[in-house]
Amino acid sequence: MSNQYEKLFSPLKLNNKLELKNRLVMAPMTNFSSNEDGTVTKAELDYYARRSKGVSMVITACTYVTENGKGFPGEFAAYSDEFIPSLRELATAIKKEGSKAILQIFHGGRSCPPNLVPNGELVSASDVAQENNVAPRPLEETEIEEIIAAFGETTRRAVEAGFDGVEIHGANGYLIQQFYSPHTNRREDKWGGTVEKRLAFPLAVVDAVKKAAEKATNPFIVGYRFSPEEPETPGLTMEDTFTLIDALADKELDYIHASLMEFASEPRRGADTSKSRIEWIVERANGRVPVIGVGSVYTAEDAKKAFDTADIALLAIGRELIIDPDFVQKIEQGKENEIVSVLDKDKQAELVIPDPLWNAIINSPGWFPGV
């Protein structure tokens, strides 16, 4: 390994709990490949196992915590104890290859396809519809409490299934973000209005998850993923994100994870463009909580540049690990010139990519380099 990549392979212990062998993790990516009954398929297990050798930590695709939270076709479930054996298979497949297994947990809220949820009824903080989707029904207070409890119960299942942690999915416009956003939360009760009230649901979820995680007998971490900004007005700005980071740091989370398409993307509102979003996020975190960066990293140089430009603790790799599952090992072995950064459309079997994910990639021009 070249000396210039040493930082990528230094070990890290998160909050004196989980020992990570390097600073590279697999980003959470939906793969559309689970069984109709919500269990994990063999194709999924093989897909994850193929990508679990080099990275220190694999963050799975999101799983839904209640039956009405399913956000994607072919998404695996975790809303009932009946899914613990399926979840255990996934955790085992990842850990067997030497990586830590982190289960991403979420509720889709207004973003769920109506055909995937009971009675086609969508729920959210308020009745603000997502473009090209039906309007959601505002959740009643008892339902809000039930969903908060469901996040805790799903964490308990993750512990029982052998995962090393969970990541709360508070990003990409799903239910947790819908409560924090002034665009989607128009409530006037204790769950909406001021920024503090809009924070109530995300922080209650964090509390429920942490309480369940504390019962683990092995090291078990809790992370939180967030989207820094929204395009809508009113909508989340970097200023809102700074408030969120402060609140999450106070909860003593094991990491926070910025959801970005481009690592070096600049702020829209709430911060000036003298720094990238990730640089502002790291500055605000100020060492209180480790930060995971992400976004369009396809080469060893991209990875090195990410660590050089922002003091991130970890770097998540997404699409590149689908294109080249040996990305991390090639850098570690000094073979970074052999890294493949453009998808080879003739190598689906060799890359161990399930058919539903493959079809989604091939039919989405511009999503992946080479497609």
Mark whether 48 is an active-site residue: no
Helix, strand, or coil (residue 20):
strand
Asked if residues 168 and 224 have their Cβ atoms less than 8 Å apart, the reply is yes
Asked if residues 4 and 331 have their Cβ atoms less than 8 Å apart, the reply is no
Q: Which residue has the tokens 């001021």?
A: 194
- Taking the C-alpha atoms of residue 362 and residue 322, their distance in angstroms, rounded to an integer, is 13
Asked if residues 18 and 63 have their Cβ atoms less than 8 Å apart, the reply is no
Asked if residues 281 and 241 have their Cβ atoms less than 8 Å apart, the reply is yes
Q: Which listed residue (5, 174, 180, 298) is catalytic?
A: 174
Please compute, for residue 215, the number of CA atoms within 13 A of its CA located in the half-sphere on the CB side. Answer: 12
- Taking the C-alpha atoms of residue 48 and residue 332, their distance in angstroms, rounded to an integer, is 20
Asked if residues 135 and 129 have their Cβ atoms less than 8 Å apart, the reply is yes
Burial of 280 (0-12, 13-18, 19+ CB in 10 A): buried
CB count within 10 Å of CB 370 equals 11
- Taking the C-alpha atoms of residue 17 and residue 19, their distance in angstroms, rounded to an integer, is 7
DSSP 141: H
Query: What residues pair up with 314 in beta bridges, in sequence order?
Result: 292
DSSP H helices in 37-140: 42-50, 84-95
Of 245, 239, 240, nearest in space to 224 by CA: 245
Query: What residues pair up with 104 in beta bridges, in sequence order?
Result: 62, 167
Asked if residues 205 and 176 have their Cβ atoms less than 8 Å apart, the reply is yes
Q: Which residue has the tokens 């600049």?
A: 266
Catalytic center residues: 174
